[in-house]
Structure 1
Amino acid sequence: MSNVLSIVVVEEDRDRALTIVDSLRDAGEFEIHVIGTRTGLARQIKAREPDVVLIDITNPSRDMLEELALASGPMERPVAMFVDRSDDGLSDAAIEAGVSAYVVDGLQPARLKPILDAAITRFRMFQRMRTELAETKRALEERKVIDRAKGMVMKARGVSEDEAYAILRKAAMDQNKRVAEVAAALVTAAGLLS
């Protein structure tokens, strides 16, 4: 994110939108864009590529929350949602849709900056967790492929597990590739030959 945060405010009521913009200007230096209609929301947000999306809703429904949350790209950027009231389960639905901050009792100017900061921090934390999870899954898959390739080398050459790994490692070094790449190639080739 750049030094000056770009914020898209989604608010259909013009007076409420102006109040939010004024509150943001009082809270710091931001590049602010207001979207006054939910029609084509995803396209409008994508066109502006904001750092943060702030959504203000008077009376949300579960479908509206999910639609707004998904349109705002919660996996790409922090989304803070302010609602005047919330029925049972609506906060869960918003969080499950990826909203970083879900605030009931509407938007209060004094709370705006700390809530935006919390939404950004929470988004970054979850982004790190998603990245770590993806890397862990990839490493586990690579480990499985390497184990399969070691088993194939052990069977074909009549060597121990350590010797099979050494053969894979040497082949990887000779080809300037990772062991996982050589193992995947071996497993794929064996699959084609069987």
Structure 2
Amino acid sequence: MSDRLSVVVVEQDRERALLIVDSLRDAGDFDIHVISEQTGLARRISERDPDVVLIDIANPSRDTLEELTLASSPLERPVAMFVDRSEANLTKAAIEAGVSAYVVDGMRADRLKPVLDAAVARFHMFRQMRTELATTKRALEERKVIDRAKGLLMKARGLDEDEAYALLRKTAMDQGRKVADVAEALVTAAGLLS
């Protein structure tokens, strides 16, 4: 993200939208765009590709909440949602949908910047966690495939585990491939032959 955050404000009421824009301008140097109509919201947000989406809803329903969170792509960018009132299950639904900040009791100018900062920080923290989780899952899957390939080599060639791994590693080096890729090819070929 650049130093100047681009913010899309989703607000149907013109007066409330103007208050939000004024509050943002008072809080810092933002590139602000207001979307007042929810029709085609996902497309409009995608076209703007903002750093942050700020949604202001007086009284959200579960359907409205789900529609807004899907449209604002909370896994792609931080989303801060301000609501006048809410129920516990709506708060939980918003957080599960990926909303970075869900603020009940409406939007107030004095807390807008800290909430946006918290939403951005929380978004980055969760994105890092998702990346680490995906990397860990991929490593675990690769480990499983390598173990299966070693087992196949041990059985077919009468090798011990270290020798089977050494053979996989040597083959990978000779072919300029990853050990996991060679293991995957071996497991796939063995599956075709059995």
TM-score by length of 2: 0.98
Mapped pair 1:89 → 2:89: yes
Write the distance in 1 (CA, Å) between the matches of 2:172 and 2:86: 57
Q: Can you list the C-alpha shifts for 1:97-135, whole angstroms capped at 9, x where unaligned? A: 110000011000010000000000000010011101111
> In the alignment, is residue 55 of structure 1 matched against residue 55 of structure 2?
yes
Q: Matches of 1:59 and 1:185 in 2, distance apart?
A: 55
Give the secondary-structure state (helix, strand or coil) at the position aligned to 1:89. Answer: helix
| Structure 2 residue 143 is matched with structure 1 residue 138 | no
Please give the secondary structure, in 2, of the residue aligned with 1:44: helix
Report the counterpart of residue 191 of structure 1 in structure 2.
191
Structure 2 match to 1:37: 37
Aligned counterpart, 2:7: 7
1:65-116 Cα shifts (integer Å, max 9, x gaps)? 1110111000000000000111231111111111000001100001000000
Q: Identify the residue that residue 119 of structure 2 maps to in structure 1.
A: 119
Find the aligned partners of 1:91 and 1:23 in 2 and give their Cα distance.
24
Name the amino acid aligned to 1:144. K
Match of 2:175 in 1: 175
Aligned to 1:156: 156
Q: Percent of counterpart pairs with the same letter?
A: 76
CA distance in 1, matches of 2:177, 2:128: 27
Secondary structure of the 1:177 match is coil
4+ residue segments displaced more than 2 Å: none
Counterpart of 1:74?
74
What SS does structure 2 have at the residue aligned with 1:7?
Answer: strand
Within 2, Cα distance between the matches of 1:60 and 1:168? Answer: 57
Q: Which residue identity is paired with 1:113? A: K
The 3-state SS of whatever aligns with 2:53 is strand
Give the residue type in structure 1 aligned to 2:39: T
| Aligned-residue CA RMSD (Å) | 0.7
